[in-house]
Amino acid sequence: MTNNYDIVIAGAGPAGLAAAVEAARRGARTLVVDENTKPGGQLFKQIHKFFGSHEHKAGVRGFAIGEKLLAEAAELGVEVWLNSVVWGLFANKVAVVRGGEQITLAAKKIILATGASENAVAFPGAALPGVMGAGAIQTMINVHRVLPGKRVVMLGSGNVGLIVAYQLLQAGAEVVALVEAASAIGGYGVHAAKIRRAGVPILVGTTIARAFGRGQVEGVVLAKLDESFQPVPGGETTLAIDTVGIAVGLTPLTELAWMAGCQFVFSPRLGGHVPLHDADMETTLSGVYVAGDITGVEEASTAMEEGRLAGIAAAAALGYGAAAAEADKAAVRSRMDVLRSGPFGLGRRTAKAEILAQRKEAASCRE
């Protein structure tokens, strides 16, 4: 069975849904495919209120943003296939497994909005049951409403580590400590303050040297680090805990883009190798677009804007809403610049600008 769509989008996170909304609004026949039972990507696990401007639904809780986007998409006639996986890209064909059936979709344009996956760490005992990613913890407490354990130590002080530590406290767990190898907290101070005032010690310049336990983690040994990240002799402390949360960053989920043959660029700031794309979010392969965390790990707000950009551009390339497209895209880009400002956003803005510059270079080389 072959199904024809104007635009097929892989991933129903904020980027994918926003792209679908814009594309469908302009009249493109659009399908979004997501592997989860619920749409929203990372959003459906987020019970906290989001930052950002009002336009980006700031102050609204993450899962609610997802629901709104979904309602909008439904109204515009976007098809959303859940529990469905894009398992391969073969030229312009998208191979999907849905309900135990292999379906080949013919798509005029493809938008990859597959998000990012959590990084792992390696220390002795890291493979013990009870050592888990922050994302898995979030799914347990916010989606399934079960506590992973009673006494938790969290590794990583980026926003994800801070937020998940907070949500653990809300859910009734004791967070024994949050540890961070760097000499300063990575995420927003306000998030850190929330957990600090709940009595959680935030130990910077510290890492987990090992975890131990029989069949299940029972404790960790923390080690103090010097400026060159070497353990300080005698700086070890042992904590009795039953859960270790790992929040050491995300890596863009890019296999589909590699498989399709997109060119990549390395950006440490954005989480590793990311697909090169132009100001319309189109990759080096004509007709294949990217948006959201797959292009570099950022936030839901920027993911939505990138999704909009990709949705507008892909639709316009097919002749839908082409007249107003340039103005629409300009509006999105200026909102995106606002998001990528300040001490936290500027680094990302520079990194993104570099990608666009490199994309131009790649394009001129080919000509």
Ligand X SMILES: Cc1cc2nc3c(=O)[nH]c(=O)nc-3n(C[C@H](O)[C@H](O)[C@H](O)COP(=O)(O)OP(=O)(O)OC[C@H]3O[C@@H](n4cnc5c(N)ncnc54)[C@H](O)[C@@H]3O)c2cc1C
* Contacting residues for 342 by C-beta, under 8 A, at least 6 apart: none
Q: Which is nearer to ligand X, 205 or 340 (CB)?
A: 340
x/- site string to ligand X, residues 136 to 175, per CB under 6 A? --x--------------------xx--xx-----------
Q: Which stretch binds ligand X (CB under 6 A): 28-36, 71-79, 174-182, 352-360?
A: 28-36
Which of ligand X, another protein, none has residue 243 at its interface (CB below 5 to 8 Å by kind)? none
**From another protein, ligand X, none, which one binds at residue 108 (CB under 5 to 8 Å depending on kind)?**
none
Structure tokens at 130: 């009870």
Give me the 159-198 binding string for another protein, x by CB under 8 A, dash otherwise: ----------------------------------------
Residue 78, both tokens: 């976007």
**Considering the rule CB under 8 A, would residue 255 count as an interface residue with another protein?**
yes
The dihedrals phi and psi of 135, each to the nearest 5 degrees, come to -65, -40
**Tokens linked to 317:** 């390339």
- Contact range with ligand X by CB under 6 A, out of 29-37, 149-157, 217-225, 359-367: 29-37
The CA distances from residue 10 to 61, 84, 157, 208, 340, in Å, are 24, 10, 30, 36, 25
Q: Which of 73, 113, 246, 310 binds ligand X (CB under 6 A)?
A: 113
- One of 7, 8, 12, 178 touching ligand X (CB under 6 A): 12
CA-CA distance, 14 to 125, in Å (whole number)?
35
> Please, what is the minimum distance in Å from the beta carbon of residue 34 to ligand X?
4
In the bound state with another protein, the residue whose beta carbon lies nearer, of 116 and 168, is 116
Stretch that binds ligand X, among 7-15, 21-29, 101-109, 174-182 (CB under 6 A): 7-15
Which pairing describes strands 30-33 and 219-225: parallel, antiparallel, or unpaired? unpaired
Q: Which of 207, 205, 355 is nearest to 273 (CA)?
A: 355
In the block, tokens 């979030």 appear at: 138
**Would you state the structure tokens that stand for residue 97, as one six-digit string?**
């497994």
**Is the separation of the CB atoms in 180 and 202 below 8 Å?**
yes
Contacts of 5 (CB under 8 A, 6+ apart): 29, 30, 31, 105, 106, 107, 108
Nearer to another protein, 233 or 268 (CB): 268
List 115, 186, 187, 287, residue binding ligand X (CB under 6 A): 115
Q: Residue 269 interacts with another protein (CB under 8 A)?
A: no
Q: Does 15 bind ligand X (CB under 6 A)?
A: yes
**φ and ψ of 193, to 5 deg:** -60, -35
> Residue from 50, 63, 166, 289 that binds ligand X (CB under 6 A)?
50
Among 151, 273, 333, 349, binds another protein (CB under 8 A): 273
Q: Applying CB under 6 A, does 36 fall inside the site for ligand X? A: yes
Site string for another protein, 104-133 (x = CB under 8 A): x------------x-xxxxxx-xx------
CA distance 321 to 67: 26
Nearest one of 255, 263, 261 to 86, comparing CA atoms: 255
Query: Rounded to an integer, what distance in angstroms lies between the CA atom of residue 179 and that of residue 38?
Result: 32
| Position among 165, 176, 256, 339 found at the interface with another protein (CB under 8 A) | 256
C-alpha dist (Å) from residue 45 to 1, 54, 68, 253: 34, 21, 15, 18
Range in contact with another protein (rule: CB under 8 A) among 234-242, 256-264, 287-295, 317-325: 256-264
> In angstroms, what CA-CA distances link 76 with 17, 20, 145, 325, 363?
11, 9, 33, 18, 35
Q: For the CA atoms of the chain, what is the radius of gyration?
A: 21
Query: Which of these ranges, 155-163, 261-269, 304-312, 337-345, lies near another protein under the rule CB under 8 A?
Result: 261-269
Question: What does the binding site for ligand X look like in residue numbers (CB under 6 A)?
Answer: 10-16, 33-36, 41-43, 46, 50-52, 85-86, 113-115, 135, 138, 159-160, 163-164, 253, 292-293, 298-301, 303
